[in-house]
Amino acid sequence: MTAGALTLLVSAIASGQGKTSVTAALARRLRRDGRRVRVFKTGPDFIDPAMLERASAAPVQTLDLWMVGAARCRALLAAAAREADVVLIEGVMGLYDGEPSSADLARAFGLPVLVVLDAAAMAQTAGALVQGLRDYGPVALAGVVANRIAGPGHGAMVARSLRGIPLLGTLPAQAEALPERHLGLVLPAEVPGLERKLDALADSLSLDAAAWKTLARAQPEADDAAEAPLPPLLRGRVVAVARDAAFAFLYPDNLACLQELGARLAWFSPLADEPVPEAADAVYLPGGYPELHAATLAGAGRWRASVRAAHARGLPLLAECGGMMALAERLDDGAGGVWPMAGLLAGTVRMQPRLAGLGPQSWLTPQGELRGHAFHHSVFETPLQPLARTRRHPLGSEAEAIYRAGSLTASYFHAWFRSCPAAVAAALGAGAAP
């Protein structure tokens, strides 16, 4: 990366400490103060980046040493450092959780770590936890933001316990927390008064201005080599992409990858009963929350008829997670409703309270290893036999089924397209006449 931007990786001892709230509050606060802010999210995630994008008013990309790759992470960070005053990177789970972990990312690029600590039920023990996080790796620790602080006295006790580690800020418990559901935070478009809530978070964040001024600016390795261009495997092809509240799990980098492969994107909304665009040469149905909109999708006659017609004439379709759920025969929403879906895949999708799939995975395709992840609360009961199965990283055990039904490729697996662009292009009809 180039010098100039203050870069911090925001992490914690575990999930649920308030990383997203603190990152959002800090991004909004700095932006209001006139700073140019860029935010990244570590690890597979669709929802937190959407919230952080609203807080920072700038696109939020994903960083992950395994799924995204070190070279792409370096290029994204370098580009952000050139155009921003502050770069914030929200970690995933706890600092050392996962293979690779947020700590691995911090060490790979020389990033100082800002620890978010939920101090609601502790005082002096905060120091022990923070020093352990610093020394276990070790990592370069920039300081701490203590979350859910009861008042100035509580904050002073936490500060003394840190033994020289800067307490960069405190955030009191919020009367209105960012709402959550089974896959994480509620999508920003569904949160009433979100801008007010983000402003309230920023207002509540108390920062130690003197401590912030002493932070050393990050100086990661200055390898800013240009990435090799992607081959134009989808040149001249129009890829129709479903995008609405039911199909909202879209990585910006996946869309950029399709465009760099030469595709032109055409948007449509199944929830609005919009048919597959007539100009489409292929269809991409990303994940999302079809279970929350099952009644609307069941009543979307034009959409259902159009995707069946597209499949019947051999149009390539790629469906991930929620996209696959919407193409099954039925969707049991877990709340007493069983809804007809598009019917391209025999079987029933059933929602359940517990997680059915989670974690990084890869699919060894004829074109190479396509990396990605899974995260879902439903199961697909089907007589179909899988074309293949993904493998869990790093264990190597079998995971999600990949189904092939005519021109349709479907799975719970969320792919990171740039990890094997040729495999994605093949699924979307690369080589076929547009």
Any idea which residues carry the catalytic annotation? 321
Contact criterion met (CB below 8 Å) for 348 and 329? yes
**Residue 61: Cβ within 10 Å count:** 23
With b for 16 or more beta-carbon neighbours within 10 A and e for fewer, the 404-427 pattern comes to ebebbbbbbbbbbbbbbbbbbbbb
Backbone angles phi, psi at 348, to 5 degrees: -125, 135
318, burial (CB in 10 Å: exposed 0-12, middle 13-18, buried 19+):
buried
Q: How far apart are CA 137 and CA 122, in angstroms?
A: 24
Q: How far apart are CA 399 and CA 390, in angstroms?
A: 5
The gap from C-alpha 61 to its chain's centroid, in whole angstroms, comes to 8
The gap from C-alpha 346 to its chain's centroid, in whole angstroms, comes to 30
Contact criterion met (CB below 8 Å) for 354 and 375? no
